[in-house]
Amino acid sequence: MARFSNKIESLKYADREHKTIEILYKNGESINSYYIEVDYNNQDFLDLLKEYSIEDIEDQTKAYYDDITTRKQVVVQSWIDQAQAVLDKQDKERYELFEKYKKEQLRILEIEVENRLLDADKYKERQQEYLDQQVEQRYKEAELYIETQKNQVRSDLLSKFNTPTPTAISYTPEKVAKYMIDNFTDEDTVFKTKLEIFNLPEVKNSKDREMKMKVRKAKTVPEIFAAYYDIQCNHS
């Protein structure tokens, strides 16, 4: 009987070629390891086969390495999770820093915009004040121009219509005789005299066409008065 007989806790192949088997067996309170070669001429190996078949050894070997793989995966996943947690924390911190920076920049921008709006409002007020002054100035100039034009028109009208009162003309026989002699055949005087004669009631109302014809055909002032005299005689 081998030293590990009926004391085996676990066993597995110790190499990839499956030529050596590692046996963990209980020795009192401790666990000891024991290695044997796969050798059918070896009594220890034959004693082992009495408890575990080759399939059992292969299954335990596979289970051992599967467990190692699982534990490695767990460890790796733990490392990944820890690393991800660190990255997440860093990302969160960066995000918070970015948000803080963004808020600060937005506030700075808002202040700049407010200042520019205030400047724009002040500029607008100055421009409006300037425009108001210009409008007021133009309005005053327009009022002054209108008043000047009114005064000019008033002055022109007064100078045009405010003519001195004509003095009464004194007619004397000498003046009338001289005027008739000076304008004896003047066409304008003859024409105006005819108009005055035809406007007289006795001539205007006379039905004697022949007498009126004499007035029309008269070439001189005396001929007009001679024709007028005949009308007066016939009218009386």
| Domain annotation covers residue 124 | no
Burial 1-28 (b: 16+ CB within 10 A, else e): ebebeebbeebbbbeeeeeebbbebeee
pTM, whole model, 2 decimals?
A: 0.39
pLDDT value at residue 153 = 75
Count of structural domains within the chain: 2
pLDDT value at residue 168 = 57
| Domain annotation covers residue 44 | yes
For 145-174, the pLDDT digits (tens) are 878 887 887 777 677 566 555 555 666 777
Taking the alpha carbons at both ends of the chain, their separation in whole angstroms is 199
| Domain annotation covers residue 97 | no
What percentage of the chain carries pLDDT values higher than 70?
92
Give the domain-ending residue among 34, 52, 70.
52
Residue predicted with more confidence, 132 or 214? 214
The backbone torsions φ and ψ at residue 185, rounded to the nearest 5 degrees and listed phi first, read -120, 15
For 61-112, the pLDDT digits (tens) are 999 999 999 999 999 999 999 999 998 899 899 989 889 999 899 899 899 8
Residue 4 above 90 pLDDT? yes
Q: Print the domain residue range for 182.
A: 173-235
| Domain annotation covers residue 155 | no
Residue 58 above 90 pLDDT? yes
Residue 10 above 80 pLDDT? yes
